[in-house]
Amino acid sequence: MPAIRTVRSVARMDTGTGAQLVHALKYQGWQAAAVPMARRMAQLQWPTDVHEERAAVVPLPLSPERLRERGYNQAECLARALAPAWRVPVWGDALRRIRTTHSQVRLTPSERAGNVSGAFAVPESRRAQLRGQHVVLVDDVVTTAATLNAAAQALLEGGARIISCVTFGRAPDPGDRAIPDSDFTRT
């Protein structure tokens, strides 16, 4: 997608502490894990234009059903912990999930893209603020980027000029070498 400027992630999700932290945050209710995770996310290197232009962080929204189940949005926890380090606001209501999607875990890349296509929208009330801005979309993990792409498309349609993305974890590419990560709770 040409309007995504760059994507950065801290850790691979196939082994190590990073995967354990994401699991604890996402599935075990350990919201405090977002703080050291965001600390690492804040240390990622960005192109100068991204660093200078980023206007806000936008957490990837959950469906209302998933939010009720979990009680919190892990992407919003990360965004709220990251924003002060970057000195930008969190626009937590700039993007909405307008339809429920299936869990992406067992879907193929093409099924993932179809599952999240059209699942996001920018509320009319947020379009003026979003217009012409460079925002950073925040999520916990990127696997095929289908969800990030669908959310970025909605942000662009809602008026954003350009999107960058940051996640704590990323699924390994087939050609990646196995490299153990470090202890993400120390910094």
Measured distance CA(136)–CA(57) in Å, rounded: 5
Q: How confident is the model at residue 72 (pLDDT cuts 50, 70, 90)?
A: very high
**CATH ID of 4-170, from 3.10.290, 3.40.50, 3.30.310, 1.10.3470:** 3.40.50
Kindly state the average pLDDT of the residues 72-84: 96
What pLDDT digit, counting tens, does each position of 97-125 carry? 887 766 656 656 666 666 666 778 899 99
Please report, rounded to a whole number, the percentage of residues in the chain having pLDDT higher than 90. Answer: 53
Predicted pLDDT of residue 102? 60
The structure tokens 């009680």 sit at: 71
Using alpha carbons, list the distances in angstroms from residue 176 to 10, 128, 131, 147, 179.
Answer: 15, 41, 38, 22, 9
Q: For residue 186, name the pLDDT band (cuts at 50, 70, 90).
A: very low
Give mean pLDDT, residues 146-170.
93
The more confident residue out of 178 and 134 is: 134
Q: Which residue has the higher pLDDT, 78 or 147?
A: 78
Share of the chain above pLDDT 70, in %: 81
Among the listed ranges 89-93, 142-146, 170-174, which one has the minimum average pLDDT value? 170-174
Instruction: Please indicate whether residue 141 or residue 81 has the higher confidence score (pLDDT).
Output: 81
> For the chain, which residues make up each domain, given as ranges?
4-170
* Cα–Cα distance measured from residue 172 to residue 159, given in angstroms and rounded to the nearest whole number: 32
- Between 127 and 147, name the one with better pLDDT: 127
pLDDT tens figures, 15-45: 778 888 888 888 888 999 999 999 999 999 9
Query: Contact at 8 Å (CB) between 34 and 25?
Result: yes
